[in-house]
Amino acid sequence: MKIVFMGSADFGIPTLENLARFHHIAGIVSTPARPKGRGLKVEDSPVVDYARKRGFNPILTPEYLSDESFIQQLQSLHADIFVVVAFRILPREVFAIPPLGTVNIHASLLPRYRGPAPIHRAIEAGEKESGITIFRIDEGIDTGEIIRQITIPIGETQTTPQLYEIMSQCGAENIVESIEMLQRGEIVPSVQDHREACKAPKLKKDEGVIDWNLPAETIFNKIRAYKPFPGTCSRLNEQRLGIEWAVPVDSGSDSGVQPGTITGVSSDSISVKCGTGALQLELVKPEGKRRMSVHDFLLGTRIVKGSRFS
């Protein structure tokens, strides 16, 4: 089978790698090189970098997916199917080109968590399971017919990077058989139940500021979900403090204490009252410094019971 792979993030690299073992990669489509990092050095996407090292050709990085010359290049590749992983929204004139259509690997059990941040949002919501959906792209956002779904449990302390890696591998392991069965007519795609849909919008930087009025479990889920971006933080003694890891604990007899108040300080932890329950801080990142244990943080900072986060 001749396949054009479309993607930009490293999430899709295992899928590309596995597809190349069994089928011919007729071309790669990714995003143009962009300025990145503090120095704003122009860098290729992870997919382009990987494709160049593997010698895949052609590698197309159009600025506009509806550009006529780009569409003509795609048509000239005579691919049987396009496979998309973590890429942009495709116009109909692109996804309708190959005879088998265009399939996408999405990191949720559609129609749940449609959008660009399905892993983050599932963890944030405290979901106990999520999964991978392989589906046909249509003109909606993650609304197409489902080809295959694989359920993946979410561990109680699992973070976004950890689940990201598991889902990336799961997609790679299931894509080859799925498209081969589709080619043989052994899969009848099913229509999504749009009544069950919910969205997974892109994360914003200000979402990482902790609201201590929320339950401890809710804040804990945000800490797990918002890695590596936007992270979670609060202000203590007029300084920004990144909360890298914390665990929910019983607030004991602190029912009358205002949320955000430090209710206990030990040699290696700080307890903070939440709307319900408390959080025990274990890893922090002071402003302008490295990530460190609370033990190391307390060696250089005086924190007393009764102080408040804002």
The string of pLDDT tens digits covering residues 62-100 is: 999 999 999 999 999 999 999 999 999 999 999 999 999
Element (H, E) at 151: strand 146-153
Nearest by Cα to 102 from 65, 128, 150: 65
The Cα 286–Cα 121 span in angstroms is 26
The residue from 196, 217, 233 where one domain ends is 196
Nearest by Cα to 80 from 173, 186, 180, 11: 180
The Cα 146–Cα 129 span in angstroms is 18
* Residue 121 Ramachandran class (φ > 0 left, ψ -120 to 50 alpha, else beta): alpha
148 has a pLDDT exceeding 80 = yes
151 and 26 in a common domain: yes
52 and 24 in a common domain: yes
Structural domain of residue 216, as residue ranges?
A: 205-300
The Cα 82–Cα 134 span in angstroms is 12
Does residue 309 belong to any structural domain of this protein?
no
Number of domains in the chain: 2
DSSP string, 90-129: PPHHHHTSSTT-EEEEESS-TTSSBSS-HHHHHHHTT-SE
- Supply the pLDDT for residue 33: 92
Give the CATH number for residue 163: 3.40.50.170
199 has a pLDDT exceeding 80 = yes
278 and 253 in a common domain: yes
Element (H, E) at 236: strand 233-236
213 and 181 in a common domain: no
Mention every residue, 6+ apart, whose C-beta is less than 8 A from residue 96: 102
By residue count, the chain amounts to 310
Mention every residue, 6+ apart, whose C-beta is less than 8 A from residue 36: 42, 43
Does residue 308 belong to any structural domain of this protein?
no
177 and 272 in a common domain: no
- Phi, psi angles (nearest 5°) of residue 211: -100, 105
- For 106-147, write each residue's pLDDT tens digit: 999 999 999 999 999 999 999 999 999 999 999 999 999 999
53 and 28 in a common domain: yes
Does residue 259 belong to any structural domain of this protein?
yes
Q: If pLDDT is split at 50, 70 and 90, which confidence band does 38 have? A: confident
The Cα 209–Cα 222 span in angstroms is 10
20 and 127 in a common domain: yes
173 and 211 in a common domain: no
- Supply the pLDDT for residue 250: 86
Does residue 93 belong to any structural domain of this protein?
yes
CA atoms within 13 A on the CB side of 118: 25
The Cα 30–Cα 4 span in angstroms is 11
- Supply the pLDDT for residue 254: 73
Q: Which residue has the tokens 């922090």?
A: 284
Does residue 307 belong to any structural domain of this protein?
no
The Cα 63–Cα 33 span in angstroms is 10
Give the CATH number for residue 215: 3.10.25.10
Does residue 163 belong to any structural domain of this protein?
yes
215 and 171 in a common domain: no
Q: What is the percentage of the chain residues whose pLDDT exceeds 70?
A: 99
Does residue 58 belong to any structural domain of this protein?
yes
39 and 146 in a common domain: yes
The residue from 196, 222, 251 where one domain ends is 196
How many C-beta atoms lie closer than 10 Å to residue 196's C-beta?
Answer: 10
The residue from 171, 196, 221 where one domain ends is 196
73 and 111 in a common domain: yes
Does residue 255 belong to any structural domain of this protein?
yes
128 and 39 in a common domain: yes
